[in-house]
């Protein structure tokens, strides 16, 4: 979704407003149609459709706890989506956000446990830096394989996800296992490695602000800098970019490494902000949702935060719907898939 405002022309603000409305219309139609379809399905299953709609859409705003849970889910979704859209701008598909998140979480946990006695001003930056560097390393491996052996990044990033699962088990079971936990989990990181809280009850950590700042930095980088311009041009036409002197291969590598850094940071924030330790399965379904967010936003990093927030609202509403109405939470996956499908179909209708 390109929310680019055109220069002033006859009509001025009215013209700009019309352009934005024209760009938003396909998304609004996609959301409405998706909810109509899922409403029919829920009705045929014998459930109250209006109550289901209300639960999905408004749980996040009915209580302070619902809002906090939505924002906590928004943070990793936002970073995972950006980890997908930055390489996508260069024409590369980073399907390794899950593994990069876990490796970033491993780096954060190791730093927080090994240097547990260090003060917050030193340990917290170290924990977050370790997550970013580990994520970058995990993104650099498929980038190097692409550069050196022309191995498809989709295959290599997916395979590295499975290796990361084993690494989590090794760290959480063999190195720093918490003997009191009945699940592969490390001992807690030092108190100085935790992100400060914005709200204490229910707890909302300052990773929210960090994620928003990172999203703003990514938008500036991809849309307002010469390096970002090279990224976009390379993705649009690698051959033409090479003819005009852009180092195409290096741009490919940089895009995957940046994607790894962003995904790794999402793991670091989960460790430093939410869990304060490494836990097997902490990646949840963030990779899949991040890819869906990136595709719905059509790779536009300005739109990604808004789509990520909407998906977080749907996810929290789905959990509430499953608890209170006994409607399968998978219904929200259908909503998200339908929204993506209808958004993509809108491009086809525009072209025709």
How does pLDDT run across 245-273, given as a tens digit for each residue?
Answer: 999 999 999 999 999 999 999 999 999 99
pLDDT at 20: 67
pLDDT at 67: 96
pLDDT at 226 over 90: yes
Contacts of 256 (CB under 8 A, 6+ apart): 87, 92, 94, 139, 140, 142, 143, 146, 153, 157
Look at residue 226 and give its three-state secondary structure: helix
Distance of CA 202 to the CA centre of its chain: 23
Q: What is the pLDDT of residues 129-180, one digit of tens each?
A: 999 999 999 999 999 999 899 899 999 999 999 999 999 999 999 999 999 8
- Residue 168 CA to residue 96 CA, distance in Å, equals 15
pLDDT at 1 over 50: no
- If pLDDT is split at 50, 70 and 90, which confidence band does 331 have? confident
Domain boundaries, the chain: 1-47+328-352, 63-326
Look at residue 297 and give its three-state secondary structure: coil
Among 31-45, 94-108, 330-344, which stretch is predicted with the lowest mean pLDDT? 330-344
pLDDT at 128: 97
How is residue 6 annotated by DSSP? P
Percent of the chain scoring above 70 in pLDDT: 95
What number of residues does the chain have?
352
Q: What is the pLDDT of residues 170-213, one digit of tens each?
A: 999 999 999 988 889 999 999 999 999 999 989 999 999 999 99
- If pLDDT is split at 50, 70 and 90, which confidence band does 346 have? confident
How is residue 225 annotated by DSSP? S
Q: Tokens 């998706």 belong to which residue?
A: 34
Look at residue 177 and give its three-state secondary structure: strand
- Cα–Cα distances in Å, from 28 out to 4, 181, 276? 18, 45, 39
Token representation of residue 164: 């990361």
Mean pLDDT of the chain: 91
- Residue 299 CA to residue 224 CA, distance in Å, equals 16
Contacts of 291 (CB under 8 A, 6+ apart): 81, 84, 95, 97
- Residue 146 CA to residue 254 CA, distance in Å, equals 12
pTM value? 0.92
Task: Answer yes or no: CATH 1.10.3470 is held by domain 63-326.
Answer: yes
Q: Mean pLDDT over residues 33-49, rounded?
A: 90
pLDDT at 11: 56
Q: Mean pLDDT over residues 6-21, rounded?
A: 62
Q: Tokens 């998140």 belong to which residue?
A: 101
Contacts of 95 (CB under 8 A, 6+ apart): 153, 154, 157, 158, 161, 287, 291
pLDDT at 6 over 70: no
SS3 per residue for 181-214: CCCCEECCCCHHHCCCEEEECCEEECHHHHHHHH
pLDDT at 186: 96
Q: Mean pLDDT over residues 235-248, rounded?
A: 91
């Amino acid at each position: 979704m390109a929310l680019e405002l055109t220069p002033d022309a006859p009509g001025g603000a009215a013209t700009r407003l019309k352009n934005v409305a024209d760009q938003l219309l396909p998304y609004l139609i996609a959301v409405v149609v998706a909810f109509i379809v899922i409403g029919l399905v829920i009705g045929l299953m014998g459930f109250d459709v209006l109550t289901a709609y209300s639960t999905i859409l408004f749980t996040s705003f009915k209580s302070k706890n619902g809002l906090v849970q939505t924002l906590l889910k928004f943070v990793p979704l936002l970073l995972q989506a950006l980890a997908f859209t930055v390489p996508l701008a260069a024409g590369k598909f980073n399907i390794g956000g899950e593994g990069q998140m876990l490796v970033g979480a491993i780096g954060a946990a190791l730093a927080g446990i090994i240097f547990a006695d260090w003060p917050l001003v030193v340990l917290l930056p170290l924990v977050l830096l370790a997550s970013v560097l580990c994520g970058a390393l995990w993104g650099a491996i498929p980038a190097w394989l692409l550069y050196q052996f022309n191995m498809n990044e989709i295959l290599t990033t997916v395979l590295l996800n499975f290796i990361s699962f084993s690494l989590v088990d090794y760290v959480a079971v063999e190195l720093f296992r918490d003997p009191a936990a009945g699940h592969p989990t490390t001992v807690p990181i030092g108190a100085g490695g935790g992100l400060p809280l914005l709200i204490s009850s229910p707890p909302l950590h300052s990773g929210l602000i960090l994620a928003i700042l990172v999203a703003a930095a990514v938008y500036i980088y991809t849309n307002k800098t010469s390096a970002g311009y090279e990224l976009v041009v390379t993705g649009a036409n690698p051959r033409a970019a090479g003819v005009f002197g852009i180092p195409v291969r290096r741009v490919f590598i940089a895009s995957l490494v940046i994607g790894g850094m962003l995904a790794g940071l999402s793991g670091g924030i989960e460790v430093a902000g939410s869990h304060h330790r490494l836990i097997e399965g902490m990646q949840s379904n963030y990779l899949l949702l991040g890819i869906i967010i990136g595709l719905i936003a059509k790779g536009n990093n300005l739109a990604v935060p808004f789509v990520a927030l909407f998906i977080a609202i749907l996810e929290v509403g789905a959990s509430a719907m499953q608890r209170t109405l006994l409607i399968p939470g998978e219904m929200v996956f259908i909503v998200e898939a339908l929204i993506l499908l209808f958004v993509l179909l809108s491009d086809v209708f525009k072209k025709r």
